[in-house]
Each structure stands twice: as structure tokens, then as C-alpha cells.
Amino acid sequence: MDISTAGDRVAALRGAMQRHRIDAFVVPSADPHLSEYLPGHWKGREWLSGFTGSVGTFIATTTFAGVWTDARYWTQAETELAGSGVALMKIPSGASLLHIDWLAATMAPGQTVAVDARVLGLSSARLLADALAARGIVLRTDIDLLDEVWPERPALPTDPVFEHAAPFAATARAAKLAATREAMAKAGANAHFVSTLDDIAYLFNLRGSDVSFNPVFLAHALITPERATLFAGDGKVPADLRAALQADGVHLARYDDAAGALATLGAGTALLIDPRRVTAGMRAAVDPASRVIEAVNPTTFAKSRKTGAEAEHVRATMEQDGAALCEFFAWLEATLQDPQRDALTEVAIDRHITAARARRPGFVSPSFGTIAGFNANGAIMHYRATEQSHAVIEGHGLLLIDSGGQYLGGTTDITRVVAVGDIGDAHRRDFTLVLKGLIALSAAHYPRGTRSPLLDAIARAPIWAAGIDYGHGTGHGVGYFLNVHEGPQSISPSTPPDPHTAMEPGMITSIEPGIYRPGKWGIRIENLVLNVDAESTEFGEFLRFETLTLCPIDTRCLDLAILRADEKAWINDYHATVRARLAPHVAGEAAAWLHTRTEEI
């Protein structure tokens, strides 16, 4: 059977569904580690539908196929799904489980819904099971139809693991294991199972390249008071690193043996697992005689709170990243002003900004796929230019560039919008409103322990006041040479303000408000900030944000008439800091550009 198109692939899937008497098959955007970005082996939703966004759930029935995704991806999904026979199912903000409601309402009692438990989050699995059971619908989780219909399914990655070494790994592996065991004991657990790749990379001071943009590797871990077992692919840990791990009490086992280890824990085990960060398949493997304690992974908290030494490395990394951006933007402006130049495309932006970073010490890779959107493309929140589909940057308008780098000393993520040619009053008004939102939250003081979603409205207030809103969260946590999206904190109205989202010293978070006008332009301005102590009063401890990102904001795009005096002072103070910190790292045209773009307003 021809499977060259999405329609052919869905047809092949339906054939397998019929053979196994399945009425609906669900493919989440997930792997056995519930990762955001996936190795090719688990990109089943993308393979079936053709939709390449990082978030979405595919469902096929005998007569329907659709992808559920949120507002960040609607425009992209409409384009990629056109003509495929796969429908776009739009998820409003805060309704990420809408596909469960659809299944419960659409399927008939007695019908069977199937999903591979190995890639289904435990929390989601429970909600799905309850919703279907209430309607008399059967849920089957023991089958992966993709293996049956995907003839050239990519194999698991085999690239070797490497050590994140001192001085960048500022806390020794043994100390991290000791802290984890202390947290386990406080929770009443004598075993702890971890599947999330960034938690594992943090805990063992290891990194890899199994997932695009995120320096992690496929593994599970089981920690007990006496032993730490790392389940990784055969041959992925070199001999010298294997010896170093063994010296720290870390034993290696086969990647596929993790479920079997859970099955043999025994009646005396109190196992700590995080229901948000483990799959239903792994939970089902646990010995029924073991007692299960559900709580957030201790490493999730630990890695979010950067140490003083890690913060210093991040500050140094931001100087290198900012210097690379000076070189890039100096090149960009010179190129745009050259009447003899070849056509400049959005794809070229990605190449040149990555090349500028690659010339900086400690650079490893981009931290995500660069978003470079000119005019209308900038209004597509997660737009990605390709060789087949991109815009030429010419004429007049706004160019949005969202990019980042993975360095040994930290992870960067920054969005800037720059003027191309002449821009109008409407451009300037929107740009200034977004900057007012960034300034409002950047300047905030807040009680320690404030639940991060509650801070979202501070950035939106100046934008709301103009009758405008944006369809994404204001900020996400950022790792330390780890995932560019990291919990537990999230400055977003769609994130429940649970206790584990509390803001604590050392956390690094993005602040990135925006305004998007479909078919016209998009504006997002993003800095990374660090939670630091502000003051202690009779009302408790207060935190503030230290802005880490160092790159000028294009003041040519400002409407000065709607800026308050304190907002102008913030911009001038920020630019003075940027100039002082970056000047020692740049020369020539980059230095001249830096000086010009940091002049006082």
C-alpha cells in the first residue's frame, strides 16, 4: 500500500485498527519520557498527519481523523493539514484535554479506544479512563499500531552520552544524589523512579544529543538509599564515563529493563513517582505489592533553583550570547541597507544567527528552531521558515526573531523585533504596548512563594488596557544547559496555580508578552530573568527579577508619547547595562551597532 501521503498513512492505520477491532486510536505528542521535543522514533503524530508542531494529539476513527492543538499552532496546522483529510481541532487556551471530552461524546458505549500506554502520561491516562468508563467505552493501552503501519520507523538514537563537567557542573553528582535521597526520606520513600530526561541529565551531570535542541539522552533512573541505577541504551555510555559513574555508586542497566525493575521492587518498597512526569505504562509495571507515593520529582525543584555558581555561569553566557547577537544584528542592518545585496530570506536569518553563536566559546547548539517571521509571518506564534516556504525580507515592516543557544554555561532564549524600512504609528503603538508589558513584570516585586501563574496579569495589564490580548503564556522556566522549557514554574493563565508552581530564588524564567495581528505583523519581546532576593519586611520575604538577557531593544519602534517617565528610565538603565556588559566582547561593526542601539531615549 502506498503511504506517501497523510491520507494513505491514515488509511493504513485504519486497516490495522480494523484488524485489532479498535474504533479509535490516539497518538499523543509524547515519548516514554513525556518529552516536549521527540526523537524521530516517537514522532507518530507528525508522520500520520503531516503537522510538525511540537504540541498536538492525533485521533483517528473509522470515519474521522483530526489533530487537536492550541492557538500557537493554528495557522501552521491549517497550512500543513490542508488537503490531507486530517481536520484541525482548535483547543482554546486552558483546554488541553478537549480531545478527551470529544472521545467521550463521540464514541458509542461498547466501542474501543486504544492508545499506547508507553507514551501516555499517567495524569492524562486517569482522566481518559474515567471519561470513557463513564460512557461505557473500552480503553485499551497495550498496543502500538505505529509499529505495524510505519515501515521505515526511525530507530532509537545511539549517540554517546557525555559528562557535563566542572566548572560548569557546579554541584557534584554525589551531592545531587544525596540531596535526592534526603528528599525521598522526607516524603517517606525508599525508592524513586525518574523518567523525565532533563531530570536525569541534571541528577547525573550527564548530557546527550538524542533530542533536537535539548542536550539530553534517553534513559530512566531508579534511586534507592544504597543504589542508583541508570537505564540507558547499550553502548551509549563510554567506558571512562561508566567507570566515573560506578565510582559515584551509579550502576548501568539496559534501557528496556526499567519496567522489569519496577515489577520486582517488592512489598517493602515505598516508591516515589511524579504522576505528571511518568507514563501510564511505567506506573502499570510497578509491583502491586509496593506502596506508591505520588509527588513532584525532587530534581524538578532542585534543577529549577540555580545555585550561585550556576547563576554566575549564566551571566557570563549571556554576555557571549549578547555579543553574538550584536554581530548578527550589525550584519543584518548592513545587509538590509545594501542596494546590491542578494535577496535576504527568513531562512538566511536562521543560518546567520546560528553561525554568530557558533563562534562563541562554550556554544553547543541552538536551544530550539529559530523563528524568523517578517510582517504577516511574525503573527504566526510558532512560525518556522523552510526552504520550501518562506518570505523575502524586503520593503517595509517588522521582523520578529525568536532564537536561543545551548552553551556549557547555560541556555538562552530571546525574542527581538526590528524595523525594516519605514514603519507606521500602528506598528510603534503595538511594539510599545508589548514593551510596557515586559517592563511591568520585569520591575515587579512579589512575595517569595507566589504561585507563578498569578504573575501573568502584570505583563498583560498594559496590553489589556488597550483592548488587546495574546494567546500564549507570558513566561516559562528555562534550564541550565538543559531544556529551554522547564518547570515547575510557568507564568501562564492556563497553568493551574498549584503549590509546586511557587516562585523561589534561583529560578530562571522568560518574560515574553506579545501582540499578533493576523495577516499583518507580530510583536514579541522576550528576556530571561532570574529570581533574586529583594527585601524582607514584617510581611515576609520578597523577590524581584534580575534581567539576564543582554541585547538592545529597537528604540526605532517606540511610540515615546505612551511611555511613562519610569518606563523610559527602565529602558535607558537596561541599555546602559547592555552596553557596559557587552562592550568588552565586541569590536568593529558590532561595537558600533551596540553603541548606536543603546543610546538614551
Domain C-terminal end among 287, 303, 319: 303
Q: Which residues of 547-565 are buried (b: 16+ CB within 10 A; e: fewer)?
A: bbbbbbbbbebbbeeebee
Q: What is the DSSP letter of 560?
A: G
Give 1's pLDDT tier (boundaries 50, 70, 90). Answer: very low
**Are both 492 and 514 inside the same structural domain?**
yes
Using the predicted structure, report yes or no on whether residue 586 has a pLDDT greater than 80.
yes
Exposure string of 103-137, with b = 16+ CB inside 10 Å and e = fewer, is: bbebbeeebbbbbbbbbbbbbbbeebbebbeeeeb
Asked whether residue 2 carries a pLDDT value surpassing 80, the answer given is no
255 phi/psi in degrees, rounded to 5: -55, -40
Per-residue pLDDT band for 93 (boundaries 50, 70, 90) equals: low
Number of residues written out for the chain: 601
Q: Which of 67-81, 186-200, 406-420, 512-526 has the lowest mean pLDDT?
A: 67-81
**Rounded to an integer, what distance in angstroms lies between the CA atom of residue 390 and that of residue 52?**
16
**Cell numbers linked to 247:** 565510582
Q: Out of 149, 181, 210, pick the residue that ends a domain.
A: 149
DSSP states of 155-168 = PPP-PPPEE--TTT
Q: Please indicate, yes or no, whether residues 315 and 298 belong to a single structural domain of this protein.
A: no
Residue 473 has pLDDT above 90, yes or no: yes
| Domain stops at, among 99, 122, 149 | 149
Please say if the pLDDT value at position 94 is more than 70.
no
- Calpha distance 489→504 (Å, rounded): 9
Average pLDDT over residues 229-239: 95
Give the rounded percent of residues in the chain with a pLDDT score beyond 70. 99
Looking at the fold, whether 231 and 309 belong to one and the same domain comes out as: no
Is pLDDT above 70 for 95?
no
- Residue 35 CB neighbour total at 10 angstroms: 23
Query: Rounded to whole angstroms, how far apart are CA atoms 314 and 182?
Result: 27
Question: Residues 13-20: contacts with CB within 8 Å, 24+ apart?
Answer: 13/48, 13/60, 13/145, 13/149, 14/60, 14/62, 15/149, 16/145, 16/148, 16/149, 17/60, 17/62, 17/114, 17/145, 18/62, 20/114, 20/143, 20/145
Q: Which three three-digit cell numbers place residue 549?
A: 538577557
Q: How confident is the model over 446-456, as pLDDT tens digits?
A: 999 999 999 99
pLDDT of residue 474: 97
Pair (379, 430) in one structural domain: yes
Whether residues 355 and 211 share a domain: the answer is: no
Q: pLDDT tens, 163-181?
A: 999 999 999 999 999 999 9
Mean pLDDT value across the chain: 95
Query: Per-residue confidence at 226, pLDDT binned at 50, 70, 90?
Result: very high
Cα 129–Cα 131–Cα 135 angle in degrees, nearest 5: 110
Residues 87 and 175 in one domain: no
Q: Do the Cβ atoms of 365 and 323 come closer than 8 Å?
A: no
Q: Which three cell numbers stand for residue 465?
A: 488596557
Q: Is residue 371 part of a domain?
A: yes
Q: Is 154 part of any domain?
A: no
Widest CA span in the chain: 76
Question: What's phi and psi for 266, nearest 5 deg?
Answer: 100, 170
Instruction: Tell me the CATH number at 464.
Output: 3.90.230.10
Rounded mean pLDDT, 538-547: 97
Determine which of 144-148, 191-195, 324-328 has the lowest per-residue pLDDT on average.
144-148
Question: Is residue 376 in some structural domain?
Answer: yes
Distance, CA of 510 to CA of 530 (rounded, Å): 9
For residue 69, pLDDT beyond 50 = yes
d(CA 361, CA 288) in angstroms, rounded, equals 51
pLDDT tens-digit readout, 187-221: 999 999 999 999 999 999 999 999 989 999 999 99
What is the Cα–Cα distance from 597 to 579, expressed in whole angstroms? 9
The number of helices, as runs of H, and strands, as runs of E, in the chain is 18, 28
Number of domains the chain is built from: 3
Domain that holds residue 46: 6-149
Those residues with Cβ within 8 angstroms of residue 590's Cβ, 6 or more apart along the chain or in another chain: 323, 326, 327, 330
Shared domain for 542 and 558, answered yes or no, is yes
Assigned domain for 176 exists: yes
Residue 201 shares a structural domain with residue 293? yes
Task: Say how many Å lie between the first and final Cα of the chain, rounded.
Answer: 65
The model's pLDDT over 105-127, given as tens digits with 9 standing for 90+, comes to 999 999 999 999 999 999 999 99
Same domain, 514 and 565: yes
Whether pLDDT at 422 is above 70: yes
Residue 440 placed within a domain: yes
For the cut 80, the answer to whether the pLDDT of residue 4 exceeds it is no
Write down the pTM of the prediction.
0.92
Per-residue confidence at 494, pLDDT binned at 50, 70, 90? confident
Q: By the 8 A CB rule, do 401 and 353 touch? A: yes
18 with 84, same domain: the answer is: yes
Please check whether residue 168 lies inside any domain of the structure: yes
Does residue 92 have a cis bond before it (omega within 30 degrees)? no
| Phi, psi (degrees; rounded to nearest 5) at 207 | -140, 165
DSSP state of 211: B
* Domain match, 501 and 379 both: yes
Residue 490 resides in a domain? yes
156 located within any domain = no
The CATH number covering residue 271 comes to 3.40.350.10
H or E element that contains 271: strand 270-273
pLDDT value of position 36: 87
What mean pLDDT do residues 534-562 have?
Answer: 97
Report helix, strand or coil for 405.
strand
Could you tell me if 399 and 529 lie in one domain? yes
> For 491-564, where are the alpha helices, taking DSSP H only?
none
